[in-house]
Amino acid sequence: MKTADPRAIWLAPAMFLVLGLVRSLSLYGQTLATNRLALSVMRDLQNAMYAQYMNADFARLQRQSTGSIISRFTNDITMLRESLIRSANNLTRDVFMIVFGIAWMLWIDWALALFVLVVLPLASQPVLRIGKMIRHRSDQVQTQMGDVTGFLEESLSGARMVKTFSLEPYARERARARFQDRFRLLLSMTRFRAMIEPVMEVAGMLALAGVLALLAWRSVQGESGIEDLLGIVGAVLVISPAARALGSLSGVIQEGLAVVQRVFAVLDEAPQLTEAKDAKPLKVKGAEIVFDEVEFGYEPGISALDHVSLTVPAGKTVALVGPSGSGKTTLLNLIPRLYDPRSGRVEIDGQDIARVTIASLRGAVSLVSQDITLFDDTVRANIAFGRLDASDEEIEAAAQTADAHDFISALPEGYATRVGPRGSALSGGQRQRIAIARAILKDAPILLLDEATSALDAQSEARVQEALERLSKDRTTLVIAHRLATVRRADAIVVMKQGRIVERGTHEELTAQGGLYAELAKLQFSEG
């Protein structure tokens, strides 16, 4: 036996090792790079979507369930990520293999390669068609997932109502129907997915049979020999698995595309309620509010406010009363431009609010409503939402005025105590006083108050009332009144009915009139 160069003996295993190592490292690098890309796309889309929802019209956010919006950020985005990662990992490789295979064929037998170039797109038609159906179904699956998330959010956050009304069977039934829907949709999606492989098998066989027939015919004619045959078979062996993989990938890509469409539909939605191009900051002197022939409705053809004209003089308090659904909340919501009137205008100190910057307008308004929003953060942070740059001293001073300092100091960690989801660790009266402290801190010249209808205990009630009185002093205040004490104190009372103002005056004047107010006053007002 010939003795080889001893170094050459080691060369092969060493090469083998190096190659293996390079392959492993590049595999690791590729996985990391594709995942990084997909994750960063995901993060950027989430940021863009969140910004879009934050800028969206209030009306639009009211219409869609919170759960289904959340589902866009969770389910839609997860689906997109999976689709992106799988495509990024396989798409280039498979396309490269097919191009390589066809180039190889072209080199051996151009006529045959041309034939393959014609047959391949034809054979992929059925798969593309299934892909389209998958995309359509995938959109339905995601929409339904939003519905399920919305339902879960609603029923779980309403746990108190569900339990006290023994609504568990009703809730279970509604859940069952949704999960059944989900099952049905996913099953039909699976049906389409499962079709891809067999359809590809048949299409592939037909294409291959065509290639072989052409090859056989050409070798009978003596135009190609055994070496060509071997080359072609080699090329087919390269192309077919890649084409197959691409076929299965097309389903995944279509699912991703369905999500992309949904995400961009959100991103492309332009808010209706926008700032005027030449908008200037609102200049507040006394903060007189004027409603001039304001007409507004939520649905076409139905008026929630029917040509309302009203002046709230600077620094005065006007109480709104009226039966449920008469338009009181709607009137309040027009001032910070949560909605725009369909006709007529709202002015503050003579400036049309549609022509001032939205930030300056909303900066001039404090809203204390009965559905108090506390975030799961510290007491301090929840008060500071009134003015984000407030110092600790200012926050404590606001809490003092709102009669909240004592109970806050008694909490386990004082101002650093977390309030729990939606402020669940606090009582109703405590939550209200935090909301009042927030408004005191904001120190806006206009106060919009939606008095709580739910009764607090007498002591808590008195404290909340006193805090509100301090807050509304010297501010232009529009209050939806539910208490006798409030209407008595108001400079004027406005009575609304079916979107119109039907009576105006003081408590004494209106009681003496014996109209709608007198009737409401008898039934509606608690002594507080």
Ligand X SMILES: Nc1ncnc2c1ncn2[C@@H]1O[C@H](COP(=O)(O)OP(=O)(O)OP(=O)(O)O)[C@@H](O)[C@H]1O
For residue 295, what are the β-bridge partners?
Answer: 343
- Nearer CB in complex with ligand X: 40/272: 272
Contacts of 122 by beta carbon, 8 Å cutoff, 6+ apart: 207
Least Cβ distance, residue 327 to ligand X (angstroms): 4
Q: How far is CA 159 from CA 114, 162, 407, 432, in A?
A: 67, 5, 27, 22
- CB of residue 304 to ligand X, shortest distance in Å: 4
Pairwise CA distance, residues 379 & 60, whole Å: 30
CB of 65 to ligand X, least distance (A): 13
Specify the residue, 62 or 78, whose C-beta has the smaller distance to ligand X. Answer: 62
DSSP run (H or E) holding 233: helix 226-267
Count the residues in the chain: 528
Measured from the Cβ of residue 180, the count of other Cβ atoms closer than 10 Å reads 10
Residue 45 vs 331, nearer CB to ligand X = 331
Residue 59 or 119: which CB sits closer to ligand X? 59
Provide, rounded to whole angstroms, the least separation between the CB of residue 331 and ligand X: 7
The secondary element (H helix, E strand) that includes residue 37 is helix 6-55
φ/ψ of 120, rounded to 5, equals: -60, -50
CB of 375 to ligand X, least distance (A): 23
Strands 476-480 and 492-497: unpaired
Neighbours of 43 (CB within 10 A): 11
Q: 334 with 296: CB under 8 angstroms?
A: yes
CB of 372 to ligand X, least distance (A): 15
| CB 362, CB 331: distance < 8 Å | no
Least Å from the CB of residue 64 to ligand X: 12
Query: Looking at beta carbons only, is 312 or 399 nearer to ligand X?
Result: 312
Hey, which bits of 176-304 come out as E strands? 289-296
C-alpha to C-alpha distance for 296 and 304, rounded to whole angstroms: 6
Give dist(CA 343, CA 308) in Å, integer. Answer: 10
Pick 321 or 419: Cβ nearer ligand X: 321
**What is the nearest approach in angstroms of ligand X to the Cβ of residue 324?**
3
Cα gap 266→249, rounded to integer Å: 26
Separation of CA 243 from chain center: 38
Q: How far is CA 180 from the centre of its chain?
A: 25
CA distance 278 to 105: 66
- Residue 190's H or E segment, with its range, is helix 168-220
CB nearer ligand X, residue 101 or residue 322: 322
- Is residue 278 a contact partner of residue 133, using CB atoms and an 8 Å limit? no
Instruction: State CA 338 to chain mean position distance.
Output: 18
C-alpha angle 513-515-519 in degrees, rounded to nearest 5: 115
Give min distance, CB of 298 to ligand X, in A.
3
Where on the phi/psi map is residue 327: left (φ > 0), alpha (ψ -120 to 50), or beta?
left
Comparison of 71 and 333: residue with beta carbon closer to ligand X = 333
Residues in the site for ligand X, rule: CB under 6 A?
62, 298, 304, 322, 324-330
- Looking at the Cβ atoms of 329 and 417, the one nearer to ligand X is 329
Least Cβ distance, residue 318 to ligand X (angstroms): 15
Cβ distance to ligand X smaller for residue 59 or 229: 59
Burial of 72 (0-12, 13-18, 19+ CB in 10 A): buried
Q: How near is the Cβ of 66 to ligand X at its closest, in Å?
A: 14
Q: Looking at beta carbons only, is 330 or 430 nearer to ligand X?
A: 330
Which of residues 242 and 334 has its CB atom nearest to ligand X in the complex?
334
Residue 472 beta carbon to ligand X: minimum distance, rounded to whole angstroms: 19
